A = this chain, B = another copy of it.
Amino acid sequence: MTIIRIRSLLATAVACVLAFTVTLAQAADPLPSWNEGKAKQSITAFVQRVTTRGSKDFVPPAERIAVFDNDGTLWAEQPMYFQLAFALDRIKALASQHPEWREKEPFASLLKEDLKGALAGGEKALAEIVMATHAGMTTEEFEKSVSDWLATAKHPKTGRPYNQMTYQPMVELLRYLRANGFKTYIVSGGGVEFMRAWVEQAYGIPPEQVVGSTIRTKFEMRDGSPVITRLPEIDFIDDKEGKPVGINKFIGRRPIFAFGNSDGDLQMLQWTAADGGARFIGIVHHTDAEREWVYDRDSHIGRLDKALDEGRARGWTIVSIKSDWRTVYPAKQQ
């Protein structure tokens, strides 16, 4: 037995001690930011059912796939999707390189802080904003632009950096599921590479477990080095019917646990629920005017209407932010 193999044994021993420590820590409440009640209970009861060996609902760890919408489910989405806030700030930052924008919509309105005017052009205007800010650079340059933005931008209502507007109860839920052998995925309408820049730190979800909308990219040699550049062309929209399609394409297994907050998540929830066996379906309901926002059926962002009806009819777990969450955001970091 070589020194390296002894080291390997020691590493295993250390890992085991750590595993015991984590297990003991979980003997405390794993979901401290959740109030006691039906929602919390339905989560822990489900996890117990599918992880108890010998139970008829036992699911082997490899099949414990959990999927989460991001905007409005894992972090806030008001007064506008945060990725749109990123795009608008990028337009301002890039304006000096684009003098033509001063005369050209939707950029001209945006640069005059007239968001309504800019978005009056509908989907076409939105697409132009996205392409001007999300394409035409390498993947590495884009990642840097997202990280730089997160380091400086502040949310208009809370004054927090956007990546500190994650929901603490959901971060605990992700951690709790992983401690119970689940593989946690994001399945979001947001851009994959926008999310990959920060979700590992925020949620403990690695880049390869992020499913989202994509634009086309291209491999090319630049000065003898390979780069991947982002093209101004949509590849895949991971929303509504796109969510189960994205799950099938990127994960290739049906989840047993799914969480969303809007009608855009309905098909993902239906797809998860339909396979028989023990399934957990959760919906975050935005009910807290003081600590967050109140919106559902009539909202233009995160509209929750059909999914709310179907969730109630089918006994899915509807989480009320106001009554089910003890805290909303994580403790402020400096």
Q: Which A residues lie at the B interface, using CB under 8 A?
A: 1, 4-5, 7-9, 11-12, 15-16, 19-20, 23-24, 26-27, 48, 52-53, 62, 65, 139, 183, 192-193, 196, 206-208, 210, 214, 217-220, 225-226, 228, 235, 241-245, 248-253, 267, 270-271, 274
Contacts and interface: CB of A to CB of B under 8 A. Distances in A.
Contact of A16 (B19, B26, B219, B228): B19
A248 B9 CA distance: 35
A12 B5 contact: no
Contact of A15 (B19, B139, B193, B217): B19
A208 B9 contact: no
Contacts of A24: 9
24 contacts: A5-B23, A5-B26, A5-B27, A8-B27, A9-B23, A9-B24, A12-B19, A62-B206, A139-B248, A192-B249, A193-B252, A196-B252, A207-B251, A207-B253, A208-B251, A208-B252, A214-B249, A217-B249, A219-B243, A219-B267, A225-B274, A226-B244, A226-B270, A228-B248
* Copies, count: 2
Contacts of A5: 23, 26-27
Contacts of A12: 16, 19-20, 23
